[in-house]
Structure 1
Amino acid sequence: MINKIKILALSGLLLAFNFNVNAQVAPIAPTIQAPNGWHLLDKGKDGFYGISLNKTYTELLKGKKSTPVTVAVIDSGVDTLHQDLSQVLWKNPKEKPGNGKDDDKNGYIDDVYGWNFLGGKDGRSVGKDTEEAERLFKNLGAQKTILPRDTALYSKLKTKYEAPLMANRAKLKDFQESFQGIKWADSLLHIGLKKDTIKGTDLENFSSQDPKIENARKGLLSLLQGNKMMDISIDQFRDEFGAYVTTLEESVAKLDLPLVNYRADIVRDNYADFSDRYYGNNDVMAKFAFHGTHVSGIIAAKRDNGIGIDGVADNVKIMMVRAVPDGDEHDKDIALAIRYAVDNGAKVISMSFGKGYSPEKQWVDDAIRYAEKKNVLLVHAAGNDSKNIDVEDNFPNPLYLSDGKKATNMITVGASGDLTNGGLTAGFSNYGKKIVDVFSPGVKIYSTIPGGNTYGNANGTSMAAPVVSGIAALILEHYPKLKPAQVIDILVKSCYKPEGTVKKPGTDEQITFSELCRSGGIVNAYEALKLAANYK
């Protein structure tokens, strides 16, 4: 999931630079910054609100034998050659690589590292895809008559999907002109300050007798303060603002462009027929593997090898099931990905994806029930829209469509941070005291990146969920007889519960953590393993 940069409303901010003079000044950044891998650290020992993982290994697990656990990652793909992942990848023991045969008779040819449900028999793979709301809205709108059963959905889509795009169209010109103004100011300030890198603090401590340069300084300073981005360079701000304008342009274009069915052209299954399930190919990297590689490293990057990073769990194998494009995933692919993972021995399934509509939710529900019967735990990211998913939809969710009951094998995860990187709650995280079970570190998480054995930081509940997947796998390594509901119970009961109040995501409102999730806290590996040892 890509976290959108929040830009203030800029109506009227044209080349004349009539900037928002009421913008709030950004708070002073803390002097101590969370280090790479802060999410593994311990508050008492290290001073960071991590999961106390290192303490877990040295004090609770040292010298103890464990049972290997297979963790399936339903995601965008994985770099199978990465130095920190190549040794921890699941390899199908019944499949002979490269012979073009379905050796294990599971319906998927040469599925050595997993399967790609976004692939075609010609070797191609889906990269970009549309949003589910766009698919639904345009397909319904193409009908001559909206059926009575679809009237409410179509009305909701006009409000939730079409109306925001119309609003974007109305403000696009102002944003485009403002971007031109920002570029103009950027070039002037580089001349005025005679520096390659200029930050907001530089603008605070500088003034110019040249009215053009002074106007540029005041305008950009106001924008940086208003968006609380004083710690980045004006070049970076310019680029991020430009990216936001591009996003606006692309969203507006959706109003007039016909729906493109990227998946159908490549996958070529009969989507409406769930029994048509043996499609795809075995390319689990597929050139789109950033997200899945980052997630996989969080869970299981080889520990204690002296390179890169350490994953959470030390005795797991990562099975990649590719079903998440750059866009919204399709329910059929997700349902089959879950079933594939279960049938091939996964005990934990990490799912860092989500969307606001699920037209074939029943297929996904049936797959979740299937996993439930097979004692497989599903770990799902809550999403990055700063919304309460008790009242606003985010799929897949654990509530069955048929009877409203909650799946006993699915845990939903919000994103926490540290006081040094924005606070204990991630401003982007979804929340909900009924649907969201726990929070977990998801801000500035350092992990593996595809290509060249590289590493980097990423933000999102997409990063928080695999932290929980890793702890769950670590529990099952040492206590393999536990059922998914029991593992969830342990994770919930062992949470660290912050005192006082925290920021409600997306706002400055102060609330207690108990209003954000069912557990009222942040996962902690040390307390979870300690509780698991005596769990009744």
Structure 2
Amino acid sequence: MMHRGIVLAIVALPLFFSEGNAQNESTNGWHLRDYSQDSYYGISINKAYTFLKEKHKAGKPVIVAVLDSGVDTTHEDLRPVLWRNPKEIPGNGIDDDGNGYIDDVYGWNFLGGKDGRDVSRAPDEKTRIYNRLKLKFAGKQIDTPSLPAPEKDQYTLWQKVCAEIGSKDPMDERVELLYAEVTAKALKRHNLVLCREMGVEEYTVNKLEQFVPQTRQGREAKLGYLKFMKFMKVDGEEKNVTIISEIEEEVEGQKAAIEARENPFDPRAEIIHDDYYNLADRFYGNSDVMGPANSSKHGTHVSGLIGAVRNNGIGVDGVADNVKIMMLRVVPDGDEYDKDVALAIRYAVDNGAKVINMSFGKYFSPEKRWVDSAVKYAELHDVLIVHASGNESTDVDVKENYPNCFLKQWRTNATNFINVGASGDPKISGSITAEFSNYGKEKVDVFAPGVRIYSTFPGGNHYGNLQGTSMAAPIVTGVAALLRSYYPDLTAVQVKKILEESTIKPDATVISIKPGSKSEEFPFSLLSKTGGIINAYQAVVDADAARFASTVTEPPAKPTPPAANTATQKTTTKTKK
């Protein structure tokens, strides 16, 4: 899911304090605004719809597949836009459409068991690889030249994993985690005191700033809580329950990652019971696309950004106004599994999706060949894939992350794959760049708003802010769906090219801080292939002109795909980004 790890930030809290004032002006929905009209570097969505209306354009429904953690199917702003399998009768326990997935009404949960249980947390990919191969290679003298090619690849991967795991002293990790847990507990104690004194269970940062405690304990709790909020640059409208939940999830995730290396566990084997290394064993999982409690926040937020009902007077407006969102649950708390991703892409294509959103990623992909084959399958069926580049402030031209557009079997780049970085706004984040975003002049195609983004939360009628390239990608997905709705003759390749060539380049005088740096100014144009931010208005103008139709290269002729079932090659396990 590519969380921006909060543990180190918590550890640093007593050492650094960032002054700041809560904003009076609401920034909710800033990502949809237009710079010339609103002075925010958003995507100009209202101008896009005004243009389409003036052109008397009518959109057609477009199915968008969201590969993510799950979705709240009861949400007021999402219920009308959820895809429903027209060939499946809900709840009858029968595979009515014969596709191998029983009662797949909203999509499919590849992290579920036949008994209704779900995988909520999984070890990261490098830990899975380490645990899988340590009996084979740990502490042994390996004669590399004599190894068969598959085992040589395994050994190379083992060495890479060991180098990354060994780059940090385990004791340092434990100390950092302990420090983070202590700080998180202190924040929860502050919250309990504040809830009692304010007489409420929920409050925002802005409301707390206005509250005057009557006791010394209350004043200390307010000071401690607000110190943390300001350091983390938390939005003034963020609720305490959301903040506490996020912190608990991050700390527990870090704890699980450490413990998984010391005491290996395999929730997949316990719950899903598939033959993981046999891609032909694909009819596992269940129909519960929401997943376990609290698992669907990420996917619900992403789905709202793409297609929450527009202009209904409640909640938020999604980017696209005529979509049906198909949920495919493949992202646990931890790293996704390559097999699930590959099969979910194929499910999406086979069931009519025209755009696929993938707001997840990792730095090891032992079964990349399966994912590559699925990306190629989508390419051959004219389906666009939008992927989030990651949140580690990393140059992905140097450090490869997955999934990506390079199809190793074919030794070429997929023409239907867009990799997205996260932009900000000087008034919100102090820079046009998001300090956490991955970047790459060759391997990141475009940027889109990804800082303090307001969208749907689980709970039926809840909303809130998240940030990350996970938010930037669905904004691009929404614009892609908009183009495919109003200009259905455009191919996936043509839509990708329009999205790239219609980006808006910020003025050279706009401050751009290099991701990962607090002050190093860096040309925004060098952070991605296009050097620009996605813009819906310019995209529909260019689509209407259709000036790329005769110049865009179509996908190559269909090659012979590699064999799907590679069960005999017992390769490594996976790891988290």
Same fold (TM over 0.5): yes
Which runs of 5 or more residues in structure 1 are unaligned?
Answer: 14-18, 204-215
Counterpart of 1:358 (choices 362, 365, 373) is: 365
The answer to whether the 8 A contact 1:34-1:418 is kept is no
Does the C-alpha gap of structure 1 residues 272 and 243 become closer, same or farther in structure 2, counting only changes over 3 Å? closer
Range moving further from structure 2, 61-70 or 486-495: 61-70
1:307 paired residue number: 314
1:292 paired residue number: 299
1:124 Cα deviation (Å)?
Answer: 1.4
Counterpart of 2:450 (choices 438, 442, 447) is: 442
Distance in 1 separating the partners of 2:181 and 2:544: 62
Query: SS of the counterpart of 1:349?
Result: strand
Task: Tell me which amino acid in the other structure corresponds to 1:42.
Answer: D
With the length of structure 1 as denominator, give the TM-score of the two structures: 0.85
Aligned identity (percent) is 48
Task: Tell me which amino acid in the other structure corresponds to 1:157.
Answer: V
Q: Calculate the aligned-residue CA RMSD, in Å.
A: 3.6
2:434 paired residue number: 426
1:276 paired residue number: 281
Distance in 2 separating the partners of 1:303 and 1:180: 37
1:264 paired residue number: 269
Query: SS of the counterpart of 1:476?
Result: helix
Query: SS of the counterpart of 1:411?
Result: strand
1:525 paired residue number: 536
Counterpart of 1:76 (choices 69, 72, 75) is: 69
Matches within 5 A, 1:169-318: 169=173, 171-172=175-176, 175=179, 179=183, 227=231, 249-257=255-263, 259-287=264-292, 288-318=295-325
1:469 paired residue number: 477
2:514 paired residue number: 504
Distance in 1 separating the partners of 2:386 and 2:380: 16
Distance in 1 separating the partners of 2:88 and 2:229: 57
Query: SS of the counterpart of 2:327?
Result: strand
Distance in 2 separating the partners of 1:156 and 1:229: 35
The answer to whether the 8 A contact 1:438-1:518 is kept is yes
Which runs of 5 or more residues in structure 2 are unaligned?
Answer: 143-150, 210-219, 548-577
Distance in 1 separating the partners of 2:250 and 2:296: 23
1:59 Cα deviation (Å)?
Answer: 3.2
Distance in 1 separating the partners of 2:256 and 2:133: 21
1:159 Cα deviation (Å)?
Answer: 2.2
The answer to whether the 8 A contact 1:168-1:248 is kept is no
The answer to whether the 8 A contact 2:127-2:261 is kept is no
Task: Tell me which amino acid in the other structure corresponds to 1:348.
Answer: V
Task: Tell me which amino acid in the other structure corresponds to 2:132.
Answer: N
1:170 Cα deviation (Å)?
Answer: 6.5
The answer to whether the 8 A contact 2:64-2:353 is kept is yes
2:558 paired residue number: none
**Residues 358-383 of structure 1: CA deviation (Å, up to 9, x unaligned):** 00000000000000000000000111
1:253 Cα deviation (Å)?
Answer: 3.1
Distance in 1 separating the partners of 2:26 and 2:156: 47
Distance in 2 separating the partners of 1:135 and 1:356: 13
2:495 paired residue number: 487
Distance in 2 separating the partners of 1:420 and 1:81: 35
| Residue 86 of structure 2 corresponds to residue 93 of structure 1 | yes
Query: SS of the counterpart of 1:345?
Result: coil
Distance in 2 separating the partners of 1:515 and 1:75: 30
Distance in 2 separating the partners of 1:321 and 1:185: 37
Counterpart of 1:110 (choices 98, 103, 106) is: 103
1:309 Cα deviation (Å)?
Answer: 1.0
Does the C-alpha gap of structure 1 residues 270 and 242 become closer, same or farther in structure 2, counting only changes over 3 Å? closer
Task: Tell me which amino acid in the other structure corresponds to 1:377.
Answer: L
Does the C-alpha gap of structure 1 residues 34 and 384 become closer, same or farther in structure 2, counting only changes over 3 Å? farther
1:211 paired residue number: none
1:132 Cα deviation (Å)?
Answer: 0.5
The answer to whether the 8 A contact 1:7-1:241 is kept is no
Distance in 1 separating the partners of 2:159 and 2:542: 49
Range moving further from structure 2, 267-276 or 449-458: 449-458
Query: SS of the counterpart of 1:143?
Result: helix
Distance in 1 separating the partners of 2:123 and 2:68: 16
Does the C-alpha gap of structure 1 residues 124 and 173 become closer, same or farther in structure 2, counting only changes over 3 Å? closer
Does the C-alpha gap of structure 1 residues 409 and 184 become closer, same or farther in structure 2, counting only changes over 3 Å? closer
Distance in 2 separating the partners of 1:367 and 1:195: 53
Distance in 2 separating the partners of 1:70 and 1:306: 24
1:316 Cα deviation (Å)?
Answer: 0.8
Counterpart of 1:151 (choices 131, 134, 155) is: 155
Distance in 1 separating the partners of 2:89 and 2:188: 60
1:416 paired residue number: 423
| Residue 5 of structure 2 corresponds to residue 4 of structure 1 | yes
Distance in 2 separating the partners of 1:264 and 1:471: 39
With the length of structure 2 as denominator, give the TM-score of the two structures: 0.79
| Residue 521 of structure 2 corresponds to residue 516 of structure 1 | no
Task: Tell me which amino acid in the other structure corresponds to 2:5.
Answer: K
1:184 Cα deviation (Å)?
Answer: 13
Query: SS of the counterpart of 1:164?
Result: coil
Does the C-alpha gap of structure 1 residues 227 and 457 become closer, same or farther in structure 2, counting only changes over 3 Å? closer
Query: SS of the counterpart of 2:428?
Result: coil
Distance in 2 separating the partners of 1:358 and 1:503: 30
The answer to whether the 8 A contact 1:165-1:251 is kept is no
Does the C-alpha gap of structure 1 residues 492 and 240 become closer, same or farther in structure 2, counting only changes over 3 Å? closer
